[in-house]
Amino acid sequence: MADPETPSTAQGPVTISTSSAERAPIIYFDGASCFGHHNGAIQIELAANLLMPVGAAVRVDVVQTAHLRCSVAAALALREALDKALAMYKQGQQQPTEDIPAVKN
């Protein structure tokens, strides 16, 4: 992820206003409950699990957290961003871990 404090030297075709960053919602989801397309727009419903206590047990309710709508070009850009983020995650998982030295008294 790019450092928001460091301006980018590569100028892309779109400049994102810095004033919009703190107003954008954070959307959490556990999965995509369904998807499709209509009139050229990609449609994806995002959902999250809620744990609801029922006596001594727990019930899982699934609730919609977002209705994602975008053009095909935007969907391809999102897929590319997700692929790159997953590749970064996978690369971080493969880095060797350092052993913590034991402290002797």
Question: What φ, ψ does residue 70 adopt, rounded to 5°?
Answer: -160, 165
Residue 104 reports pLDDT greater than 60: yes
64 contacts 54 by C-beta, under 8 angstroms: no
Amino acid 35: pLDDT: 97
Q: Is the pTM of this model over 0.85?
A: no
Position 7 confidence tier, pLDDT thresholds 50, 70, 90: low
- What does the pLDDT look like over 25-61, one tens digit per residue? 899 999 999 999 999 999 999 999 999 999 999 999 9
Can you tell me the distance from the alpha carbon of 62 to that of 23, in angstroms, rounded to the nearest whole number?
A: 26
8 A C-beta contact, residue 67 and residue 45: yes
